[in-house]
Amino acid sequence: MRVLNEIRFDNLRGDLFGGVTAAIIALPMALAFGVASGAGPAAGLYGAVLVGLFAALFGGTPTLISEPTGPMTVVMTAVIANLIAANPEQGMAMAFTVVMMAGVFQILFGALKLGHYVTMMPYTVISGFMTGIGIILIVLQLGPFLGHATPAGGVIGSLQSLPALIADIQPAETALAVFTFGLIVAFPKRLQRLLPPQLIALVAGSLVSVFLFSELDIRRIGEIPTGLPALQLPVFTAAEWQLMVVDAAVLAMLGSIDALLTSVIAENLTRKEHSANKELFGQGVGNLASGLFGGIPGAGATMGTVVNIQTGGRSALSGLTRALLLMVVVLWAAELTANIPLAVLAGIALKVGVDIIDWSFLKRAHRVSPKAALIMYGVIALTVFVDLITAVALGVFIANVLTIERMVKLQSESVKAITGPGECAKLTQDEQTLLERAQGRILVFRLGGPLIFGVAKAISRQHAVLDEHQVLVLDFSDVPVLGVSSSLAIEQIVLNDLQQSRPVFIAGAKGEVRKRLATLGVIDRLPAEQVVDSRQEALQAASDLLDRAPAQDAPTGPATA
């Protein structure tokens, strides 16, 4: 397998233009997410450079742009707040250690080839937690939007402080935030491919603050130190170890889902297949490097990826170009950001929060499925007011239980007990004739589809109500998978009939189904001539056995219990 991502030079102009455009979009977003997370604007820039660079080098999606994203920033904000509260002196260093650990988790996900499974969760759950993350990001920006620092206590703390924030509103900063938000919303869509609205809003908001509000005390980013970031060695204490591992697992899982969903979007736009496991490895290396140098975590960014593709990017060269341009800003031009007002960054982050919310599904979820809507609303509430891992775990569990219930209901309908002609349309004319001759003495137990564990009850129930038969035919012709629970229910049926000296025939059991029956010892209990390839063979043999026995007696056949 190729170690590096696909880097080509046959589309040089498109890749360079795509990388430059993605870098222009990334700059304001990185600053906004760095400030929103609590780690500072420099951490946002370091994350944008390092995650983007290493994910582009080692990832599995050539056109993917990786950088700090809204969902990752929301989780990182909670991580920083919790660890600083637990350990004021080492909390920030521990938060960067969590980012490193999340990168290691993602590398392990890729090595264990879990990429295919990471996104295998119901859309209702994905929609719910993405909407919940959008709401969290909006709530956390209410303080900066009104001219104050984000209150302590996360979502609850921000909501509780809202009356005091409104009472002490800073008009100039709120005006800048509203101006920034409104400019991004009103920016003409036809120009967005040429001029990123976030950058225009960043520049315009900064200029307005300098020329119109120069005499006011407006909170600004301040000068960001230029040069290479300092190495952050892993820091942790035994007491916080378990908390850090859980936080890292949440970041890793969210980053993996975020990146792989964006990879699917990139694949649909370029018609070029991505490697999910390789992408997880690249994302992991990127986050590991970001944490080592004091950057916030990142993932595949939908906005940057789509713009990169639309402006000509086709290989990982575009992602490398973007990372190198941002590195130039970090090394030599960071002082240019000193006059950017924090309120402008709050307006940008607030718009990101609004965009993350799945408005399309929110509007129609109740029409699509009331149960799906309840799951989505439950995940939203848990994400906002409890935590992300509880929301996802509970949402996936409930959604899977409902799905299994539907599957069991459908599969149970395919379990059919047949004693006479005309009871099943799938019987051939010859098979119906054989059943008619048997006059109800042969019970055909037709099984269809994957027999998962929930079908076991239906199998037992069907057999229990049809006890008046002399020969049993178990038809596995349409069964591709036989679960453990269903196989045990079938074993019990076979044992019951053999104990009552009723011959049992097994028809059409192939491959894994036959292997499972053999493992349980069901096939070994029957004579070889009673394990046949087709239903008609079984019916013919059962009919011949009945013909040889007295009509009033049940045939014992050669089978024994």
**157 Cβ partners below 8 Å, 6+ apart?**
151
Q: Report pLDDT digits (tens) over 120-173.
A: 778 888 888 889 988 998 999 999 999 998 888 788 899 999 999 999 999 999
Best CA proximity match to 220, nearest among 91, 326, 72, 341:
341
Tokens found for residue 193: 């491919």
Q: Please, are residues 140 and 150 in contact by the beta-carbon 8 Å criterion?
A: yes
The rounded distance, in Å, linking the Cα atoms of 480 and 431 is 22
What is the number of other CB atoms lying within 10 angstroms of the CB of residue 230? 10
Distances (CA, A) of 478 to 408, 412, 448: 16, 14, 5
**560 confidence band (pLDDT: 50, 70, 90):** very low
* Mean pLDDT in residue range 55-73: 94
Residue 28 has pLDDT above 50, yes or no: yes
Q: Please, are residues 506 and 526 in contact by the beta-carbon 8 Å criterion?
A: yes
DSSP run (H or E) holding 142: helix 142-145
Between 411 and 30, the more confident residue is 30
48 class by beta-carbon count within 10 Å (0-12 exposed, 13-18 middle, 19+ buried): buried
In this structure, is the dihedral angle defined by the CA atoms of residues 78, 80, 81 and 87, taken in order, positive or negative?
Answer: positive
- What pLDDT is attached to residue 411? 65
**556 confidence band (pLDDT: 50, 70, 90):** low
Q: Please, are residues 66 and 56 in contact by the beta-carbon 8 Å criterion?
A: yes
Q: Please, are residues 42 and 299 in contact by the beta-carbon 8 Å criterion?
A: no
- What pLDDT is attached to residue 421? 75
Between 214 and 530, the more confident residue is 530
* Mean pLDDT in residue range 516-520: 89
- What pLDDT is attached to residue 239? 77
Between 468 and 87, the more confident residue is 87
- What pLDDT is attached to residue 559? 42
* Mean pLDDT in residue range 368-389: 87
Tokens found for residue 76: 């990182």
- What pLDDT is attached to residue 104? 97
Q: Please, are residues 58 and 285 in contact by the beta-carbon 8 Å criterion?
A: yes
CATH code of domain 414-548:
3.30.750.24
The rounded distance, in Å, linking the Cα atoms of 30 and 536 is 69
Between 253 and 456, the more confident residue is 253
Q: Report pLDDT digits (tens) over 212-240.
A: 888 888 898 887 777 778 888 888 777 78
Across-strand partners of 473?
444, 505
- For 343-378, the DSSP string reads HHHHHHHHHHHHHHS-HHHHHHHHHH-HHHHHHHHH
* Mean pLDDT in residue range 334-363: 88
Q: What angle do CA 493, 495, 496 make, to 5 degrees?
A: 65
The rounded distance, in Å, linking the Cα atoms of 81 and 154 is 8
Q: Please, are residues 172 and 147 in contact by the beta-carbon 8 Å criterion?
A: yes
Parse the chain into domains and list their residue ranges.
Answer: 12-358, 414-548
For the chain, the average pLDDT equals: 86
Between 101 and 189, the more confident residue is 101
Place of tokens 């920034």: 180
- What pLDDT is attached to residue 276? 92
* Mean pLDDT in residue range 443-471: 72
* Mean pLDDT in residue range 21-35: 90
DSSP state at residue 423: S
The rounded distance, in Å, linking the Cα atoms of 358 and 81 is 27
Tokens found for residue 97: 């250690």
- What pLDDT is attached to residue 558? 47
- What pLDDT is attached to residue 465? 57
Q: Please, are residues 61 and 42 in contact by the beta-carbon 8 Å criterion?
A: no
pTM over 0.75: yes
**461 confidence band (pLDDT: 50, 70, 90):** low
